[in-house]
Amino acid sequence: MQGWIVRWLLNILAIILTAGLLGSHFELTVWGAIVGSIFLGIVNAIIRPILMILTLPFNIITLGLFTFVVNGFMLWVTSATVKGFDIHGFGWAILSAIILSLVSFIISFFIDDKSFGLK
């Protein structure tokens, strides 16, 4: 249970850092980051796998880069649904997805999963 909470908190941190990097194109409140993180997790668990299968030909043609568009769409859906989690436009959502992926990777690289019992 502790590992799930740590990953969720790190996801919230990654969202806050992404919003900070994008400035006025990604407006975020603390409550929006918390609720947005939960909603984004649910959307990624339910809708994203279906979209990944439907967009598989595009993903193959673009060598996987179309995944950023799908991830941007997930962020855009979250932005349209959660108050306090506002991304201004679909293009900014795609850029947010790319930055969020990089920030999450960097955080995961420096955080030892074994110390939190995640593995």
**DSSP character string of 10-57:** HHHHHHHHHHHHHGGGEEE-HHHHHHHHHHHHHHHHHHHHHHHHHTHH
Domain count, the chain: 1
Range of the domain at 11: 2-116
Give CA–CA dist 43/40, Å, rounded: 5
**Whole-prediction pTM:** 0.83
Q: What is the pLDDT of residue 5?
A: 82
Q: What does the pLDDT look like over 45-73, one tens digit per residue?
A: 999 999 999 999 999 999 999 999 999 99
